[in-house]
Every structure is written in C-alpha cells, then in structure tokens.
Homo-oligomer: A and B are copies of this chain.
C-alpha cells in the first residue's frame, strides 16, 4: 500500500512533468518557482508562468502540509474536540489562462488527505472553460476524461461528470463555469476498491492533463481573433473570478485558514472585466457559447 511519502513524491514529479510539457508547447514562457513554508508544518512549491506565447498567466502548484487537525475538520469527521490528531495533505493544483481567446482556460486539482485517525481519501477534478465553446474540442476533452475513467471503472465518468456539472456552477448566473469535466472528493477504500487502485486512478487523471491540454493549445493557438473576441474573453474571465471567489471550496478554505494568498489566488487571470447587463447578439458565437454553459450536456 502506498505511503504518504510515495504519494507526495509522485505529485512532485507530476508537477515537474506538467511544467515541462506546458513550457514546451508554449515555446516562450518559463515557470518561476517560489518555495514557501507553513508555520504549522509543511509548505509548497509554487510555479508561475506569465506572458508566454500562449499562456498569459498560469500556475502549477505543489504543496504538502501537515499539523494538528483544525477544529472544522474535527467537526466534519466526528472527532471530539479534546482528541489530539494530526493531518497530512498533499496535491497539485493548476489553472492556465491563455492570451488567445480561442484557447480554453483549464483547471486541474489532484489531492490526497489523511489523518492520524486512520481516515484517508483522494480528491480532485479537471474542467475546461472555453471562452468560445468549440464542440469538437469539448467532445475531445470529455472523451479523453471518459477513457481515463473507464480504465478504472465504467461508473466513474458518469458519476464524476455529473459531480463536475454541479460543482463548477455559478448559481447567481445560472451558468456552468465552462463545459465541465470531472470532479470527485473523499474517495476512500471500499470492499471493491483498494487504496492502491484509488491512487492509480488519481495518477491516471493527473497524467491525462498534459497531453489533453497541450493538444488544445496546439490546435487553437494559431487561430486569429479580434478586439471583440478579446472583450468577450474579459467577461468570461470575470465569471471565472466570480466562481473562484464566491464558490470555490479550495479558495475559501485557503483564504479562511490563512493559506499563502499569492498561491491561492494564482487562479485569477491577468485581466478580467464586467459590463452591466451584457446581452450577446442573437445568433452570435457568444450567444451560442452561453447556450452551452448548462448542466447535463453529454459531450463524451
């Protein structure tokens, strides 16, 4: 059975591999690295890329933190307040904002959590936010995720795809953040699924990121765009900001638990915009995109 050290090492290597693949496809941008330490234990390796050929702003973050179980986690896990327990959490988080509005925004997170109570779980997700929905790309993206899921269980993709539709949802806009993907949390042991199998699944998802996203970068980075497309991109990024600051659990958790703000908010774009009551022109590509930001679309 894999130990937390082995899982941690694997996540670090995943960060290395993804950074190398993104730099190669970008052709110009280079990641800068900031190492940081957490007072209560552990720390992270934040890697940021800004002003590349394709990537305007993005981050690929590794962290491994530990310490006493905070009170809210004790509550959630029915651990009485006076019990002394520790936790360990490690993972990789990615958000990439491209400069060309024809290249989609992407996000991935894969993580492992355990407590000295013996409880452990994996979580994660990957979702795509095109400024303009390209249906071929949307099918390609979901097909790739489905293929990765299906290698482990035929039930995973339908379950985790629905979970993503529900999670990556901007309730006050009645819009999904993008075309979704997969989302899963607290995947632990079952009679049918061992810890090693859970880890193998998370590794599969982690390894799906680079080939899928670099293909989307490669295909779309050569597409031309106008000032109007850039304006729409600003508005879509505004929605991304709304989701991350209002709904995203990782962001909330990080800000409320005194995490490293610059690492948490690396997910925000270089620029974003808001226009009062923007209404897309009937029949436009913007209107079509809005019509596809809905739950329950079968892309795969």
Contacts and interface: CB of A to CB of B under 8 A. Distances in A.
Nearest to A264: B172
Nearest to A251: B246
A251 to B, nearest CB: 9
A39 B261 CA distance: 39
Given A245-B241, A245-B246, A246-B255, A269 B274 contact: yes
A272 B275 contact: no
Nearest to A276: B48
A265 interface: yes
Which interface class (under 10, 10 to 19, 20 to 34, 35 or more) fits A?
Answer: 20 to 34
A245 B265 CA distance: 13
A173 interface: yes
Contact of A270 (B171, B264, B273): B273
Contacts of A238: 268
A236 to B, nearest CB: 13
Interface string A235-277: 0001001100110000000010000011011101111111111
A82 B125 CA distance: 42
A59 interface: yes
Instruction: Please state the number of chain copies in the assembly.
Output: 2
Contacts of A50: 275-276
A34 B271 CA distance: 28
Contacts of A268: 238, 274
B234 A262 contact: no
A28 B179 CA distance: 41
A273 B272 contact: yes
By Cβ-Cβ distance, the 9 closest A-B pairs, closest first, are A245-B245, A268-B274, A172-B255, A48-B276, A271-B273, A262-B277, A172-B261, A245-B246, A272-B272
